[in-house]
Structure 1
Amino acid sequence: MSEIKNIQPTEVWSIFDQMLQIPRPSKHEEKIQDWAVKFGEDLGLETIKDEVGNVIIRKPATAGMENCKGVIFQGHLDMVPQKNSDKVHDFANDPIEAYVDGDWVTANGTTLGADNGIGVSSALAVLASKTLKHGPVEVLLTATEETGMDGAIGLKAGLLNGEILINTDTEDEGTFSIGCAGGIDVIASFKKKMTQKVPKKSTAFNLKVTGLKGGHSGVDIHLGRGNANKVFFRILKEVNAAFGVSLADIQGGSLRNAIPREAFGLVLVKAKDADDFVAKVGVLAEEIKAELINVEPNLSIELETAEMPKAIIKKGLQKKLTNAVWAAPNDVVRMSDTMPGTVETSSNLAIVKAGEKTIEVSCLVRSFSETAKNALASRLESTFKLAGASVVLEGSYPGWKPDVQSEILEVMKNLYTKQFGNAPELLAMHAGLECGILGSTYTNWDMISIGPTIKFPHSPDEKVNIKTVQKYWEFLVATLENIPVK
């Protein structure tokens, strides 16, 4: 018997336990969507699945609450499929191996999917309850949030009736999110130019950068964590200047919205320089580890001897790629002037991947400012175009401007303070909450985002705090009972 479904409040955890059994990586969400549809239909509630995969379930008001404003609970069904390199796990078919670790629930070597599975579970628990008091409730479960917010973008106007949106994707209990950053993808493609003139009397090495924490490229970008792609190309530039090394392959990072934790490349050096090369990489590794020791204590930079490749990347392309990746803006670019301590604009150099015909570099730019977002994307575009790459800007989505005069914000602030004895913290998230997109379609919505405490989302260290789930649920129940009337 699963230990997860017996955690209090069981109304929420028993549903989350069901979600753990159903594979739901982004772009492979059919099973979880079908499960959500069946969940609503089994309760006898009006349930629809729209053409882009969003699931909408409606529950009428309980007696005496019919005049309350309609509430929409919103979360996303997909999860980020990240695992440690030594973990055998098929996200398209295998259940998540979750377990209790003290005050936390986490997973064995993979992402847990508490982002946004716990929020979804709480919304569905409202639908399943026969005792909660509430006005009209709708649950909106969106598709493919993690890789482009496809469901939010594709949601049509007129499908939902409510006036208040409670998004369940904030990851610090006691924090109310009232705004979010917009984003845009910058994708640079270098035509892959290879040569079979592999230097004779050379030694091949796999250069591996591993052990970094990674994390959410919005929520965690201010923490100064290492970027595996940046580390890899920093080393490559240094050793190339010293020994004239050749690059045969590079695979760094895996997801556009995750800070890259690992990068792997195949490099060649003249056999006579091999010992000095190994020593030089060792020195560089120690220097970089010393720089990052307080934030990345488990950083590992290793060399392993490898088989000689049949072809290598042409020197001109290698030089351009190296300089462009190393020069490209990354991390926090500007802090907010209006909300102290909040990141305004950032970039995550997320992926460097050699394919059959191209070497592709993917960056995700975020900002509360639409103009600053576009300016930084243009800066990245210039960097990679100067290096000879073709560049595409795509997937732009709007931010959500904070409204400090929001009616539901005032109600929930007062209720939280009364219930728990302290005021909640207000936050404009440096992440792409779906509220920005949804609010651009449903402009009448009064929006807020809350949730329990989740640490290290988008990484195999992801965990959710048990006590905060209980507190979050109690507050959610109280909020439903205090929704303003129409």
Structure 2
Amino acid sequence: MTALNQLYPQPLWQWFEQICAIPHPSKFEQALSQHIQDWAAAQGLNVVEDKVGNLIIKKPATAGMENCQGVVLQAHIDMVPQKNADKEHDFETDPIEAYVDGEWVKAKGTTLGADNGIGMASALAVLASTDIKHGPLEVLLTIDEEAGMTGAFGLEAGMLEGDILINTDSEQEGEIYMGCAGGVDGQISVPMSWQAPEQSNASFRLTLSGLKGGHSGVNIHLGRGNANKLLARFLFEYADDLAIELVEFSGGSLRNAIPREANIVIMLPTENVASLNNALDAFQAIVRSELSIADPDMLLTLETLATPAKVMSETAQNTLIDLLHACPNGVTRMSDEVEGVTETSLNVGVISTHEEEVNVLCLIRSLIDSGRKEIEGRLTSLANLSNAGVEFSGAYPGWKPDNSSPVMEIVRATYNDIYKKDPTIMVIHAGLECGLFKEPYPLMDMVSIGPTIRFPHSPDEKVNVTTVGQYWELLLAVLANIPPKAA
């Protein structure tokens, strides 16, 4: 089996192998951060950890390029922790088991962390090099991008000196990104009341699994199933007929990942169990038919449980089911300005049941602030109708495209020179950090590039080996082509 560190380009893959070996899920990046700091200090590089935990590493220009514009290579340290249900893995202590499968690098049963580990590895490989041409160079590694963009929010003015920022968090070779969506977290809290079971004497956990999931921005337009929404639909269609009493609803694990699995704990009369099984078969057949192309492998399974002491009250249960069934999800509008790009979307990401309430955590994304606010209004109206609470937090701005960007033209021309074709200029429906960087650094010229990564934020995540080499060649050529500072 080919070892990662034998792939081209070796300097990048050697760093990626180190990154995979040190756990670094969101909120738990410190071990990897310290490893990088220790390495940078040993190389004699200037390394600073800012007050929120971002790393800034500076390297002088190579000979003859001292007067070039300064470049900031930027990546985020953290990765999304997602695993298959049958995979034993602790993201806080266990390394990522990466392996080569033909033209792809994958992980065994977990997310790979190519998002954004490949970009981070490329930046560190440039720092480690002795023969790559570049002007004054800074590497910015931010924390907690996937779970709240804490690092980008906390970056202060004056920490960076560069004129140009190259974000390495894009996920399609041949595409150059010059804009991205903004977003906000929305949480609806449905009040709970409880009662003793009325006529139920059979108890089960119903699990919906087998969905592809994926990135709630990049993959949202693919029409994949949302486990939370599908279970809510099942309850809406069958709860009354089967006299189901609901005990718990839980699903999804991250607000920015399309939920692959969800489960409910239910009670119902024993005489209705056969009808329940028939309903499950019918519902599974319907959904598999509807999603036969986008997401064909949805699976419903029942597990017998001990009898719970209490169930949701009829009013609370009906309110929850109606709210979840009515809650918008997926693409709400495609962009008129950028063909084929989602303008506004919503992901019903995480549902959790507590004593006092059931929380429904959503992530709204939009290329325009008014689109985001319109979806905030829909959720507010839904909460008002349901006598539920709603809160919005962590809003971050989009990155407005700049058609006159000089670095965009440099990257475009460099790509054409290498590959004899024009790249595609894109806007991504995901939350790149560039929008937040524009606040403390409004004059910094920005662009985003990267290799081809498929199914980020899911255990199916994989990165194409050939495109990593192409991305690397483009990055080095761009660094060599950065012009002098204006006189």
**Fold shared, TM-score > 0.5 on shorter chain:** yes
Aligned partners of 2:54, 2:169: CA distance in 1, in Å?
16
CA distance in 1, matches of 2:277, 2:426: 47
Q: Distance in 1 between matches of 2:69 and 2:190?
A: 53
Contact 1:239 1:281 in 2 (8 A): no
- CA shift, 1:2, in A, is 8.3
Query: 1:424-451 deviations in whole A, cap 9, x for unaligned?
Result: 0111000000001111221011000000
SS at match of 1:441: coil
Tell me whether 1:34 sits opposite 2:34 in the alignment. yes
1:119 counterpart = 2:119: yes
Q: Could you report, residue by residue, the CA deviation over 1:242-267 in whole angstroms, capped at 9, with x for unpaired residues?
A: 12211111111010100000001111
Q: Which amino acid aligns with 2:77?
A: L
Q: Distance in 1 between matches of 2:302 and 2:289?
A: 19
Deviations 1:189-224 (A, max 9, x none): 1233222x1234521121111010000000000000
1:348 counterpart residue number = 347
* Aligned ranges 1:65-144 → 2 under 5 Å: 65-144=65-144
Counterpart-to-counterpart distance in 1, 2:248 and 2:356: 12
Letter in 2 for 1:87: K
* SS across alignment from 2:88: coil
The answer to whether 1:156 aligns with 2:156 is: yes
State the shift of 1:377 in Å.
1.1
Equivalence for 2:362: 363
The corresponding residue for 1:12 is: 12
> Aligned pairs, how many?
485
TM-score normalised by length of structure 1 = 0.98
Greater Cα offset, 24-33 or 306-315: 306-315
Cα offsets for 1:66-93 (capped at 9, x unmatched): 1110000000000000001111000000
1:248 matched to 2:253? no
Partner of 2:261 in structure 1? 262
Q: Could you tell me how far apart the structure 1 residues matched to 2:418 and 2:2 are? A: 32
Question: Which residue of structure 1 lines up, in the alignment, with residue 184 of structure 2?
Answer: 184
Q: After the TM superposition, which of the residue ranges 430-439 and 201-210 deviates more from structure 2?
A: 201-210
Offset, 1:42: 1.7
* SS class of match (2:119): helix
* Contact in 1 for aligned 2:187/2:359 (Cα 8 Å): yes
Matched-pair contact (CA < 8 Å) for 2:76–2:142:
yes
Contact 2:2 2:100 in 1 (8 A): no
Partner-residue secondary structure (3-state), 2:410: helix
Instruction: Measure the CA separation in 1 of the matches of 2:451 and 2:49.
Output: 27
The change in CA–CA distance for 1:43 and 1:2 in structure 2 (over 3 A counts) is farther
- Aligned partners of 1:345 and 1:365 also within 8 Å: yes
Q: Residues 312-362 of structure 1: CA distance to partner in whole angstroms, max 9, x if unpaired?
A: 111111111111111011100011111111110000011111134321101
Q: Secondary structure at the match of 1:73?
A: strand
1:408 aligns with 2:407: yes
Partner of 2:470: 471
Identity of aligned residues (%): 48
Moved runs in structure 1, 4+ residues, more than 3 A? none
Q: Which runs of 5+ in 1 are unaligned?
A: none
The CA distance in 2 between the partners of 1:6 and 1:23, in whole Å, is: 22
Q: Structure 1 residues 46 and 2, CA, compared in 2 at 3 Å: closer, same or farther?
A: farther
Return the alpha-carbon distance in structure 1 between the equivalents of residues 201 and 109 of structure 2.
Answer: 37
**Contact 1:186 1:381 (8 Å CA) reproduced:** no
> What's the CA shift string for 1:273-295, capped at 9, x where partnerless?
11112111211111111101111
- CA–CA separation in structure 1 for the residues paired with 2:366 and 2:199: 49
Distance, in Å, in 2 between the alignment partners of 1:35 and 1:276 is 57
Shift of 1:306: 2.2
Deviations 1:381-433 (A, max 9, x none): 21123212111111100000111111011111011011001110111000000
SS at 2:240's partner residue? helix
Q: Secondary structure at the match of 2:438?
A: helix
What's the Cα RMSD here? 1.2
Cα distance in 1, alignment partners of residues 383 and 269 from structure 2 = 30
Alpha-carbon separation, structure 2, partners of 1:146 and 1:266: 30
State the secondary structure of the residue aligned to 1:301. strand
SS at match of 2:400: coil
Q: Provide the residue aligned with 1:294 in structure 2.
A: 293
Structure-2 separation of matches of 1:381 and 1:186: 9
Matched-pair contact (CA < 8 Å) for 1:269–1:277? no
Letter in 2 for 1:346: S
Q: Distance in 1 between matches of 2:356 and 2:2?
A: 47
Contact 1:73-1:139 at 8 Å conserved across structures = yes
Equivalent residues of 2:45, 2:59 under 8 A apart: yes
In structure 2, what is the equivalent of residue 210 of structure 1? 209
Tell me the distance in 2 between the aligned counterparts of 1:201 and 1:406. Answer: 65
TM superposition score normalised by structure 2: 0.98
- C-alpha distance in structure 1 between counterparts of 2:167 and 2:411, whole Å: 13
Contact 1:111–1:461 under 8 Å retained in 2: yes
Per the TM alignment, residue 310 of structure 1 is displaced from its structure 2 partner at its CA by 1.7
Q: Shift of residue 485 of structure 1?
A: 1.2
Distance 2:355 2:240 in 1: 27
* Structure 2 counterpart of 1:446: 445
